[in-house]
Amino acid sequence: MIIVMQAGTAPADLDRVVARVEALKLRPHVIVGTERTVVAVVGDERDAMGAGFEMLPGVASVLPILAPYKVASREVQAEPTIVTAGPLVVGGKSIGVIAGPCSVESSEQIVGTARAVKAAGATGLRGGAFKPRTSPYSFQGMKERGLELLAEARAETGLAIVTEVVAPEDVPLVVQYADVLQVGARNMQNYRLLEAVGRTQTPVLLKRGPAATVEELLLAAEYILDAGNRQVMLCERGIRTFEAHTRFTLPLATVPWLHARTHLPVVVDPSHGTGHANLVESMAAASVAAGADGLIIEVHPDPKCASSDGAQTLDFAAFERMMQVCRRVAEAVGRTLA
């Protein structure tokens, strides 16, 4: 249910509405927009529609939220959410670019990559310290040492650090280093992890599960929003289909579809989405043309020697070329690529 407040409502009227919602054992999410303030009421709202909210001072109207995802829905917030983490700005006019290796491997590797991607125009540095690998025998990441190396790269370059957290018990450690917490595709429906990142105030990059529908992605985002963290980015990273010419199938219609239904920004990952370095530039450009608010790209000083995902990873020169192409496309669609 959405309680729409009158323009210029007194704070006391808003407080009264919030208190009444809490008294009904429901959760109020106050969303202050440029034109109106609304209170999205979530929980089992069956009794709330008949609770007389329309009679309270300052209330303009009371409406049901039709979408199953509530706080993520455009119905409650018409303006796009802009996620900001240091220099990284994702959403609105700005297309944020996050680049870096699949895994953190060494100081030289991560600091060198940070310098190169920054010079090419990225504002976020990705790098996995805790890696969710399909095989238990594959490289699992440098863990806390990897986080320290990411912090070193941030100290050198100022880039925002985007790194994955794979388990709820690791959240207190990873938030000490990360500017953005990545929830990986394999964990999109790990609801305890979603709640744990939702209790932080660190922005979250939520990747779509390879077998999840976009509606399930939005409901996963809703767990984070409902726990209190509004800085959520959705990430299309490709889905599993019968098709085998690419590692996953990257459906870019997701981007405008999501924009029509949610205010949350949408990031595209053409590295995992294709699995092939030679397809990344085209699909990054196509993502920008389709309205993506951000890109996350795997970049390594020497992709053939990368300890994970080398086949889909760009070297510095290829990343620089990709940025030039994407910048021109961004300009053509009225956006700026940072």
**In which region does residue 250 sit, left (phi positive, over 0), alpha (psi from -120 to 50) or beta (all else)?**
beta
CA atoms within 13 A on the CB side of 209: 16
CB of 263 to ligand PEP, least distance (A): 23
Length of the chain: 338
Q: Render the burial of 279-307: b for 16+ CB within 10 Å, e for the rest.
A: bbbebbbbbbebbbbbbbbbbbbebeebb
Which residue, 102 or 280, has its beta carbon nearer to ligand PEP? 102
CB of 308 to ligand PEP, least distance (A): 7
SS3 102: coil
Beta carbons of 169 and 175 less than 8 angstroms apart: no
Which residue, 80 or 273, has its beta carbon nearer to ligand PEP? 273
Residues 264-323 that bind ligand PEP (CB under 6 A): 272
Determine the Cα–Cα distance for residues 130 and 333; give it in Å rounded to an integer: 36
Which residue, 70 or 272, has its beta carbon nearer to ligand PEP? 272
Residue with smallest beta-carbon separation from ligand PEP: 184
Determine the Cα–Cα distance for residues 266 and 293; give it in Å rounded to an integer: 5
Q: Does 207 bind ligand PEP (CB under 6 A)?
A: yes
Among 185, 194, 290, 338, binds ligand PEP (CB under 6 A): 185
Q: By rule CB under 5 A, what count of residues binds Mn ion?
A: 2
Angle at alpha carbon of residue 183, lines to 117 and 28, rounded to 5° = 120
* Residues in CB range of 332: below 8 A, 6 or more apart: 289
Name the binder of 237 from Mn ion, ligand PEP, none, CB < 5-8 A by kind. Answer: ligand PEP
Name the binder of 276 from ligand PEP, Mn ion, none, CB < 5-8 A by kind. Answer: none
Q: By rule CB under 6 A, what count of residues binds ligand PEP?
A: 9
Name the binder of 273 from Mn ion, ligand PEP, none, CB < 5-8 A by kind. Answer: none
Name the binder of 184 from Mn ion, ligand PEP, none, CB < 5-8 A by kind. Answer: ligand PEP
Determine the Cα–Cα distance for residues 120 and 324; give it in Å rounded to an integer: 8
Q: Does 184 bind ligand PEP (CB under 6 A)?
A: yes
* Residues in CB range of 84: below 8 A, 6 or more apart: 90, 203, 231
Which residue, 164 or 281, has its beta carbon nearer to ligand PEP? 164
What x-and-dash track marks residues 97-116 binding Mn ion by CB under 5 A?
-----x--------------
Determine the Cα–Cα distance for residues 30 and 32; give it in Å rounded to an integer: 6
Q: Does 179 bind Mn ion (CB under 5 A)?
A: no
Q: In the chain, what is the straight-line distance between the N-terminal and C-terminal CA atoms, in Å?
A: 37
Residues 107-146 that bind ligand PEP (CB under 6 A): 128, 132
Residues 283-322 that bind Mn ion (CB under 5 A): 309
Residue numbers of the site for ligand PEP (CB under 6 A)?
102, 128, 132, 184-186, 207, 237, 272
Residue numbers of the site for Mn ion (CB under 5 A)?
102, 309
